[in-house]
Amino acid sequence: MTDGLRLTVLGSGYLGITHAACMASLGFDVLGVDTDGRKVDQLNAGRLPIYEPGLEELLREGLDAGRVRFTTSHAQAAAFGDVHFICTGTPQQTGSDHADLSQVNSCVAALAPLLDGPCLVVGKSTVPVGTARRLAAELSQACPGAELAWNPEFLREGSAVADTLAPDRIVVGVTSGRAEQILRQVYARPLAGGAALIVTSLETAELAKAAANAFLATKISFINAMAEICEAAGGDVRDLAQILGADPRIGPAFLRAGLGYGGGCLPKDIRAFVARAEELGAGASLAFLREVDAINLRRRARTADLAHELAGGNLTGVPVCVLGAAFKPGSDDVRDSPALDVAQILTGMGARVTVYDPAALDNARRARPELSYAPTLADAAQGAHVVLLLTEWQEFTALTPGSLGGIVARRNIIDARNVLDPVLWREAGWEYRALGVAEDAADRARQDASPW
């Protein structure tokens, strides 16, 4: 089924490792390339530098079967591969909203002169529209037999393996039927499993990723804007989200109001999309995404204000427990983490903050060494005057008012992900606050429901 195609995967971040291991599990011979020799050694030894359920097992299976290995040599990659996947990162540029394309550019610059026969180079990284067309020209100049295609990746952290092996859709931006045929071969198994194939231009393929992330971020910020209105008007955003989500035209996904989105993709991709639109003279079309970003960041400030309020209007020296450092549960990623941002804001307001997370403590320590961390939930909550639930790990959603009540010094809790039962916590004597739920909305709803 693989027709003997040999694949290389350039870049061993989240995307690259997942793609390499998944392609090997589909039966391809895969060579992963990264300039970081330490990472290459680690991967060849079957150890993941990231936390992703199921991925380490898949990597080990590939290594054991001799289907995947990693190298630092672009020359080896050029000699090995029929199809070369570019999976390098495109972080936000320091000091600007634009994407930093240096890794993608240097990867193509390193590979292109070494290619000497027909092959397909496939971009998977998230790039500003127009990048693929430029790279295609550079590539064909360096090696006339080499062709470029763009094939964006929509995987989510925490379900990266399933998203790669059984995606909803596979988007291929191509400039020839030959490139399409090769990509049909590469993705034969997921296509046979029901994934939709959309064949399009290079530009539309690049835009597909930016637009999908922009839509998801807009949905989250929409419900968080409704949360702000609920707070002002005395509503309950959880009920509102349920009502909206029951309309099949809207759908319930990505309507969880709370502290908003973070991570290595949505925040920087939205900003880069706006920056690129402005460059193209189409800034007005995406101006609303600036508000999407602003709503998202306002939730962080609002959460800190709630803590300030619960601490009686002064956080100086107040012991505060922050539950969560990862940008979402099921991940150890702290890039643009709303939880860590709130911890930082509270520290700036004078609070004595202690952070606990079941998986992301090491990364959090590296990213924000100035914050204090505890190895267990109980250690973090010991003597706290205010507890903030900022990432909805199961360990936190399973908390009971009684168990936590025995550890803290004062019963104040902020449920910034709307995952706890307000009635239960209030009945146990806790001052409970949530985002998008007016203080007395839950009690009022219960009274309204009463036949008396």
Q: Kindly state whether residue 255 participates in binding ligand UDX, applying the rule CB under 6 A.
A: yes
Q: Per-residue string for binding with ligand UDX, 196-235, x by CB under 6 A?
A: -----------------x--x---x---------------
Would you tell me how many other CB atoms lie within 10 Å of the CB of residue 88? 25
Strand partners, 150: 123, 173
When binding is defined by CB under 6 A, the residue of 13, 62, 263, 422 that contacts ligand UDX is: 263
When binding is defined by CB under 6 A, the residue of 195, 254, 297, 382 that contacts ligand UDX is: 254
Q: Kindly state whether residue 342 participates in binding ligand UDX, applying the rule CB under 6 A.
A: no
Q: Which stretch binds ligand UDX (CB under 6 A): 60-68, 139-147, 258-266, 394-402?
A: 258-266
Q: Kindly state whether residue 156 participates in binding ligand UDX, applying the rule CB under 6 A.
A: yes
Instruction: Give the Cα separation of 278 and 266 in Å (integer).
Output: 18
CB of 213 to ligand UDX, least distance (A): 6
Q: Which stretch binds ligand UDX (CB under 6 A): 27-35, 61-69, 167-175, 255-263?
A: 255-263
| Angle, CA 330 vertex, CA 329 and CA 335 arms, to 5° | 70
CB of 362 to ligand UDX, least distance (A): 19
When binding is defined by CB under 6 A, the residue of 70, 85, 273, 327 that contacts ligand UDX is: 327
Instruction: Give the Cα separation of 223 and 226 in Å (integer).
Output: 5
Contact in structure between 44 and 63 (CB atoms under 8 Å): yes
Q: Kindly state whether residue 184 participates in binding ligand UDX, applying the rule CB under 6 A.
A: no
Judging by beta carbons within 10 Å of its beta carbon (0-12, 13-18, 19+), is residue 4 exposed, middle or buried?
A: exposed
- Which residue in 3, 38, 34, 29 sits closest to 17, CA to CA? 34
* Per-residue CA distances from 292 to 93, 270, 312, 401, 412 (Å): 20, 9, 31, 34, 30
SS3 307: helix
Look up tokens 């009635």; give the residue. 423
Which among 87, 119, 143, 265 is annotated as catalytic?
Answer: 265
When binding is defined by CB under 6 A, the residue of 67, 69, 268, 328 that contacts ligand UDX is: 328
When binding is defined by CB under 6 A, the residue of 161, 265, 311, 361 that contacts ligand UDX is: 265
Q: Kindly state whether residue 260 participates in binding ligand UDX, applying the rule CB under 6 A.
A: yes
Q: Kindly state whether residue 150 participates in binding ligand UDX, applying the rule CB under 6 A.
A: no
Residue spans of beta strands (DSSP E) within 89-239: 119-123, 146-150, 169-173, 196-200
When binding is defined by CB under 6 A, the residue of 82, 147, 157, 332 that contacts ligand UDX is: 157
Assess whether 107 carries a catalytic annotation. Answer: no
- Which residue in 122, 35, 141, 128 sits closest to 82, CA to CA? 122
- Return the amino acid letter for 332: D
Name the residues annotated as catalytic: 265
Binding-site ranges for ligand UDX (CB under 6 A): 154-157, 213, 216, 220, 254-256, 258, 260-263, 265-266, 327-328
